[in-house]
Chains A and B, each alone.
Chain A
Amino acid sequence: MTRWLRCAALAPLVAVLAACPGAGSTTVATLPSDGAIPGDRPRGKPAAGADAWVGRDLIAAPAAVAPRPLVMPAIRRFTLPNGLAVIAVAAEVPVVTFQLGIRAGRRHETRDKTGLASVTAAALIRGSAKRSRAQLDAAAEAAGAALSASASYEVTLLGCSVPQVDASTCATILGEVLASPGIDGKRIEEARAEVARSLRQSRADQGQLAGLHLQNALWGDDHVRGWVASEASLARIGQRDVADWVRGRIRPDNATLLVVGDLAPAALEAQLRRALGGWKKGAAAPALGRVADPTPRGLTIRVIDQPGAVRGQVRIGQLGVGHTDDDFLVLALLNHALGGSSSSRFARAVRDKLGPASSASASLDRNLERGAQVASGSAPTAQLVALMRLMIDEIERLRGRGLTDAEVDRASSEMASAHAVRFDSPVALGEALLAAALHGRDEGAVRDFAIDVATIDAARARAVAARRLDGKDLAIVLIGDGAMIGRALDDAGLTYERIPVSAPIAAHERAQAAVPAVAATPAAEAAARAVLDAALKRKGGAERLGKLRSIRWKATASLTMQGNKLSGVIEKRTVLPDKLRLDMTLDGGKVEVTTVLDGKRGWARQSQAGGAARVIDFPDAEVAAGRGQLWRDPELVLLRHREPGAKLAPEADVELDGVACHAIRVTDQTGTRSALLFVDKKAGRMIGMRYSEQGQTAEERYAGWKKVGGVEVAHRRTTRSADVDITTTLGEVAFDGAIDAAVFARPATK
């Protein structure tokens, strides 16, 4: 993305310049007695002499005001002949905003293709059958229009805002991408890469990662709410999946269009008929079978181990209720009183018992289907378990005793006021109307919110708290330094599951990574074997590869880790069957790292300019990882399915960079080493591989093929994992050259 002064541009610089909404110094640090969420900022001691304010003529806390309905603008609703419902909100503003909400979200996905809604949304605005992405972008930008697309649990949202004079531009573009989407493999690949980037960013953020784990921990692997998109699930999404999704779900009679602006009703309707009339109704996608909501499992704790993390996050989840449930509004109020403001129970308890370095809040999913209630906390890792216990205690207290009259009044007043303040712009009000419409509600739900929430009294709150809150049947996720958290949980006598931070989120994916499931019918296995045999032949043949004694290559490499980029040179020397040496020289020789596997031993040497070299011996786990690397060597891995006891399992075909591929899992006889090999269906060549190493999934891609000594070698290689992206360009490649055995010997230096 290129942007000039656009606020979503490179976040780091934006933050630096504090030049965009939400960036830089917007967050005002809260002070010791301030109950707002303090974030990660260190605080000083609590203000001395807080009592110094006693007896002063203080400004009084604001009194509640009588609830009243919102004053609504003129709203017109109509339906186009193709079934598209339209909400037109009159606003005297010089900009027109279109938001199209389509009932097609994550809840409609299947587990093996989680992420399909997001990939389709991103692909939709990347062009049409009539215009390329560049042409569409140019047309939009020439009018000053801004296009957006996203997918949530329930809906896909397409947005477009434009100065009023060019309102037809937005309508035309939306109509075009919907009526003639023309999504091809290239667009899908681009969209998939964008979604994958977003996933990696989410996983790199402690809070977001905790949230993803909580959904999986609370709902489980079989419930749609527990599914988490991964690189693997994205890779399984192909052109046919997107086409089916568009045909069955991106339908006008399955959507509502919001238009906010100063447009004459008749003219708007005529414009929309012209622009969106070509978007035809289609047959609805079949309903999906869903598993029931999870049953009580007691207290389950998942610890996400992030070694060395000084701060951590806690998430405590339990089931909520659907938006149309009679208890929904009361439960929302209970959650607000629990952790929705600086006056909430969480805020007060955290302030009093843990101090300003910790914070906690509470929220409730607002979906048609039952969602989750989530209590979220942030604290130094050393305080994390104490914070968790405090939060559980508060939930239990609320469940047992409910709220006081004063608390109900305050929460009700705060919610009603905040509801009004949300509508700082007419677009915000329109968005609320759209959300209500997608849930089958009219504007009364928005207009009368303050009145509705004011009807809640303490007795009703108490009854709903007793019915809908639970202090014992909770899913809990703690993320931070696992050792420190583990000790605190052990001391408390609590059992827990500890998971490396880079491990897959879904339990079934972790299990698959640990012990790959391999099961295939004989016929399927035979077909998969034929594919790999053909790929092996193309690679150079079993005879040639099977007789290799050594492999040596040098390459230039670029590594990206947590946004930092390093470049350097890599040399890899392999002497079969069990010796491997990898030398990495980074930053112009300032950093040198050598990793060696020498039979049953392994060692590493690291040196930095100006510092002494350090040699360490590998523990058994690292040695095993080194052997795994040797087993998966791209020049050799196509031999593995022919080894005694090896197993084959074909998986669903995938598309890699627009190339249709067979996906075949190969597992060694011990069941401990496994790789999913991707073979280009057309070229018959292995162009990628996915595997798990020490709990972390990595994916490799190969390109730039050249023959060297009768072997077809990929000279361009990329490896992606949650922690690092590496791009390698091979220069020298040699097979069966002499490699001095001394290079594998451990140096004496400590």
Chain B
Amino acid sequence: MLRPAALQPRPLAIGFAAMKPPLMVAALLAALGAPAEAQPARPAPRAALPAVETWSLDNGLEVAFAAMPSSPVVSVQLWYRVGAVDDPAGKRGLARVFESLMFAGSGRVRPGDHRRFVEQVGGSASGAVSEDVSAFADTVPSERLDLALELEAERMRGLEIGEDAVQSAIAAVQAQQAQQAQSALFRAYRALTAAAFVQHPYGRAAAAPSEELAAIGVRDVRAFYDAFYQPSNALLVVVGGVEREAARAAIARRFAAIPGPGKPPARRAAGLVEPPQSARRTAELPGADGVAMLGFHIPAASDRDVYAYQLLGQILDGGKSSRLGRLIASERALDVGGQVLVRRDPGLFLVYAGASASGEPEALAGAIGDELAALGKRGPTAAELGRAKKQVAATVLMTAQSASGFGNQLGVAWSLTGKPAEVERDLGDLAAVTAAQIKRAAQALAPDRATVVIGRPLQGGAR
């Protein structure tokens, strides 16, 4: 099943390209655990993960293929370069309408049959739309590769877009947003992104107002579909227990004949520059009592500094023994967490905490700032950096054990950098991050560059 982790700006497009003997993996992981200061920058090592092969069809469709011979399944994923940032003015939510609309039937597939057919062969089908990218996936038994390819090829250009299907899909988005809005943390995240991004559409892409959703019509949907759901704007990922030549032939048979404009469409956010943040921004959020959320701009995915930010996040709260874990140990916080939202354009370093009965959100925000300042002053210990690297590596390697998980990693890498095979070097680059780089990253997250949301009781009363 396609996992949304892949759709969000996520930590890193990590993975490996070449099938290497286990010894190489051991060497890599041993390096990851070495003392922080002892790690020189060095070429990216590779590990025993599936080899990735990429190619393009004449219509512009990019393909990433990885064989996992022992896997009984194949994951077929279609990634489109379109997300909530591409919503037209006054029509926010349009990109997310496709999450369900893509199952609403096409010229040769009745509504609902896509999922039904996949289920009939024991598989699963899913879809998700984030700020930057939209992806649809089918995991099926290996021998059903052609079925999954045929279904995905069919809805790439053959979607039937009628009034009822559009209204149903809009209702699904509204229901999803209503459910999300029940969460104080979601509302805090929405407030934070709105304050953090003044120029880039990331600031307004977290949710769509009802009136804008209601304004979306069939014509808008068709125009959006025609603009973005094109072979030249997509990556096809095929990972699993299938042979290379058979996969190549099946892919060509199902996708090569699809006409396309040959080049990707322009995106609304292209060229938009988010101005640097020079002063602390704060917002209060009624009805989210006790929540403290901090966000900082970080570089875009193409910047190699994102590895240091990823590890910085892991050092702050990578498990029970991490720095922010102390807030819980001291009973000031009920929970803490965060995300390093690496994105195609400038990302966000996000930390949040929920105050306990004896804690105050302002104090928690201050404590988080203190930990960042301490890291900016002294850097991480060797043990902290080693632990963070191992934890990130372990998570990535575990995810990549499954065809769908590894397929996700390829899709994410493509959505962030344009290159699915970028996964080959991520862990290597991560392993090369030094304590000094972490220290610099922490220094960049200074209090005067923070966007802070403090949850308040309902109607703005004191806590």
Q: A426–B70 contact, CB under 8 A?
A: yes
CB contacts under 8 Å to A, within B166-192, are: 167-172, 174-176, 179-180, 182-186, 189-190
Q: B189–A590 contact, CB under 8 A?
A: no
A40 at the interface (CB under 8 A from B): yes
Q: Which residue of A lies closest to B129 (CB)?
A: A25
A635 at the interface (CB under 8 A from B): no
Q: B457–A567 contact, CB under 8 A?
A: yes
Number of residues of chain A lying within 8 A (CB) of chain B: 110
Q: B401–A590 contact, CB under 8 A?
A: no
A508 at the interface (CB under 8 A from B): no
Residue of B122, B172, B320, B402 near A417 (CB, 8 A) is: B122
Tell me the minimal C-beta distance from A543 to chain B in angstroms: 36
Q: B103–A45 contact, CB under 8 A?
A: no
Q: Known A5-B314, A137-B319, A141-B321; judge A727-B357 contact (CB<8 A).
A: yes
B91 at the interface (CB under 8 A from A): no
Cα separation A679 to B463 with both chains bound (whole Å): 34
B273 at the interface (CB under 8 A from A): no
Q: Known A2-B324, A93-B397, A141-B319; judge A19-B8 contact (CB<8 A).
A: yes
Q: Known A16-B183, A19-B5; judge A31-B104 contact (CB<8 A).
A: yes
Name the B residues within 8 Å of A19 (CB-CB). 4-5, 8, 10, 339
Q: A62–B147 contact, CB under 8 A?
A: yes
Q: Known A13-B186, A31-B112; judge A342-B119 contact (CB<8 A).
A: yes
Q: A137–B321 contact, CB under 8 A?
A: yes
Q: Which residue of B lies closest to A20 (CB)?
A: B5
Name the A residues within 8 Å of B72 (CB-CB). 70-71, 420-421, 423
Q: A59–B154 contact, CB under 8 A?
A: yes
| Stretch in contact with the other chain, from B135-143, B276-284, B445-453 | B135-143
Name the B residues within 8 Å of A419 (CB-CB). 122
Name the A residues within 8 Å of B107 (CB-CB). 56
Name the B residues within 8 Å of A564 (CB-CB). 184, 287, 289
| Stretch in contact with the other chain, from A160-168, A226-234, A481-489, A696-704 | A160-168
B346 at the interface (CB under 8 A from A): no
Name the B residues within 8 Å of A427 (CB-CB). 401
Q: Known A164-B25, A420-B73; judge A58-B108 contact (CB<8 A).
A: yes
Residue of A143, A144, A413, A591 near B458 (CB, 8 A) is: A591
CB contacts under 8 Å to A, within B19-55, are: 22, 25-26, 29-30, 33, 47-49
Q: Known A34-B111, A41-B175, A590-B457; judge A16-B73 contact (CB<8 A).
A: no
Cα separation A514 to B180 with both chains bound (whole Å): 38
Q: What sequence of 0s and 1s flags, for each residue 141-154 of chain A, a beta carbon within 8 Å of any chain B beta carbon? A: 11111100000000
Q: Which residue of A lies closest to B163 (CB)?
A: A48
Cα separation A591 to B108 with both chains bound (whole Å): 58
CB contacts under 8 Å to B, within A156-180, are: 161-166
B424 at the interface (CB under 8 A from A): no
Number of residues of chain B lying within 8 A (CB) of chain A: 132
CB contacts under 8 Å to B, within A627-669, are: none
B201 at the interface (CB under 8 A from A): no
Cα separation A727 to B358 with both chains bound (whole Å): 10
Q: A343–B119 contact, CB under 8 A?
A: yes
Q: B141–A420 contact, CB under 8 A?
A: yes
CB contacts under 8 Å to B, within A190-208, are: none
Name the B residues within 8 Å of A15 (CB-CB). 179-180, 183, 186
Q: Known A19-B4, A20-B4, A32-B111; judge A3-B339 contact (CB<8 A).
A: no
| Stretch in contact with the other chain, from B212-220, B388-396, B414-422, B432-440 | B388-396
Q: A44–B317 contact, CB under 8 A?
A: no
Tell me the minimal C-beta distance from B70 to chain A in angstroms: 6
| Stretch in contact with the other chain, from A213-221, A366-374, A581-589 | A581-589
A-B contact pairs, 26 of them (CB 8 A): A2-B317, A2-B319, A3-B318, A4-B339, A12-B185, A15-B179, A17-B339, A24-B180, A25-B176, A32-B112, A34-B111, A35-B112, A40-B179, A44-B167, A44-B170, A62-B144, A91-B70, A95-B401, A133-B320, A134-B321, A144-B390, A144-B393, A165-B30, A421-B72, A425-B403, A426-B401
Rank and list the top 9 A-B pairs by shortest CB-CB distance, nearest first: A588-B461, A417-B122, A34-B112, A12-B183, A44-B168, A144-B390, A29-B172, A144-B394, A418-B122
Interface positions of B (Cβ within 8 A of A): 1-5, 7-8, 10-11, 22, 25-26, 29-30, 33, 47-49, 70-73, 75, 96, 99-100, 102-105, 107-113, 115-117, 119-130, 139-141, 143-144, 147, 150-151, 154, 162-165, 167-172, 174-176, 179-180, 182-186, 189-190, 206, 287, 289-290, 313-314, 316-322, 324-325, 327-328, 335-341, 352, 354, 357, 383, 386-387, 390-391, 393-395, 397-398, 401-405, 457-463
